[in-house]
A = this chain, B = another copy of it.
Amino acid sequence: MQVLTNTKFETVAFQWPNGFYSDGIHIGLRRHKKDFGWLFSKVPASAAGTYTTNQFQAAPTKLTKQMIDHNHQLQGLLLNSAIANSCTGAQGWQNALQEQTWLANKLAVAPDLIGVASTGLIGAQLPMDKIQNGLPQLTPTKSDAVTYAVLTTDKHPKTVCVQCELSGHLVTLTGFAKGSGMIHPKMATMLGFVTTDAQVDGDVLQSMLSTNVDSTFNQITVDGDTSTNDMVVTMANGLADNPSLEPGTTDYDIFNQALHYVLGQLAKQIAADGEGATKLVECNVTHAASDEDGQKIAKAIVGSNLVKAAIFGEDPNWGRIISTIGATDADIDIDTVDIEMNGIPLVQDSLAVDFDLAAVQGTLHDSQIMIDVDLHHGAASGQAWGCDLTYNYVKINASYHT
């Protein structure tokens, strides 16, 4: 469950893969910032998605899932922030369908190749006049404007771009995402998008995405809330012209590692930009009885309000960490737990180590905090990312008025 780093791909400056175009503009959903955008491939792309497990799945999430499940193909996506089109009933569903039709017409493609994604306030209807007026203003650009158009309380866009060579063909993977509350993977919503010009069958892409999302996006938490609109969508348009990816091949492994890296980087960027956050917290659990137990414990630690508040206070309060471990139903040995914070041992065999408090506190000024837990109880591991709990988290969420 480690994020693999591999010399077989490299991070590069932001750019779109071959054949992908996008735009982001302001149409008045937010006060001043960009709030509306599109993303499309000039040819139909293989597509895969993972979606919120919230029972109140928003209309755009439901619609996009239906399109991708249908034949794992997608060509264009219409995106907006400020309004989630969630808990909007029959009207909300009609509005999502209307958006789909409008974009299909603009791109002159079949509606089942079009997805929609919305993020923002739950319960409000989309102002369809603003969307209809905005649509002709969207142009096919190679800019990163769309990565701004999906933001809500995020302080900055989350993007990552890597390139690798598959059988001699240069392949680009470009991902972007928005956070930054109601993240357990809030306001209402985590959205992630990965585009690539790799050639890969939709079913293969879906399987790669699902597996990698489990160990990346599904292992971040800002506030323990799961929104109605969460969605990660990957589109692969094949324009890199590599031999189509098949499991068991070197190309598959390289691409899979690159995809894992892209998803992991976006996940970490979301956690680091969690509402009000001042610190990114990474937790690595080793020697767990199972990967599931390792992931459960890691996520519980980065998700504990008490641990998060202690980290904001730059206090190495290991009692809260071990208590959080014990509150899970993971299979552990209660006498063999070691805990390190920023590489300094605090607990050995479940008992306090006589550590240098000032030295640990010194390292807690950093904006990245590492918590390592060794369970000495197996061969598996788990990793999760979160952020500290701050006055600003409370402020943002107490003042985000209905």
Contacts of A323 in B (CB 8 A): 54, 56, 86, 122, 182, 188, 225-228
Report B-chain residues with C-beta under 8 Å of the C-beta of A352.
Answer: 87, 123-124
Q: Which residues of B contact A86 (CB under 8 A)?
A: 319, 323
Decide if A256 is an interface residue (CB 8 Å cutoff).
no
Instruction: Mark the stretch among A20-28, A209-217, A307-315 that contacts chain B.
Output: A307-315
The range of chain A's interface size is 35 or more
Segment among A3-11, A40-48, A97-105, A385-393 that sits at the interface with chain B: A385-393
Task: State whether the Cβ of A77 lies closer than 8 Å to any Cβ in chain B.
Answer: no
In the bound complex, do residue B402 and residue A391 qualify as a contact, i.e. CB atoms below 8 Å apart? no
Q: Which residues of B contact A182 (CB under 8 A)?
A: 306, 320, 323
Return chain B residues, CB-CB under 8 Å to A334. Answer: 55-56
B56 and A325 contacting across the interface, CB-CB below 8 Å = yes
Docked Cα-Cα span, A322 to B121, in Å, equals 12
User: Quick one: which of A319, A351, A389 has the most chain B CB within 10 A?
Assistant: A319
- Flag whether A186 is at the interface (Cβ < 8 A): yes
Q: Given the interface contacts A224-B305, A306-B225, does A315 sit within 8 Å of B400 by beta carbon?
A: yes
Within 318-359 of A, Cβ neighbours of B (below 8 Å) are at 318-320, 322-328, 332, 334, 347, 350-352, 357
Q: List 7 interface pairs A-B (beta carbons < 8 Å), by A numbering.
A: A55-B326, A55-B328, A186-B306, A223-B306, A225-B306, A313-B397, A315-B399
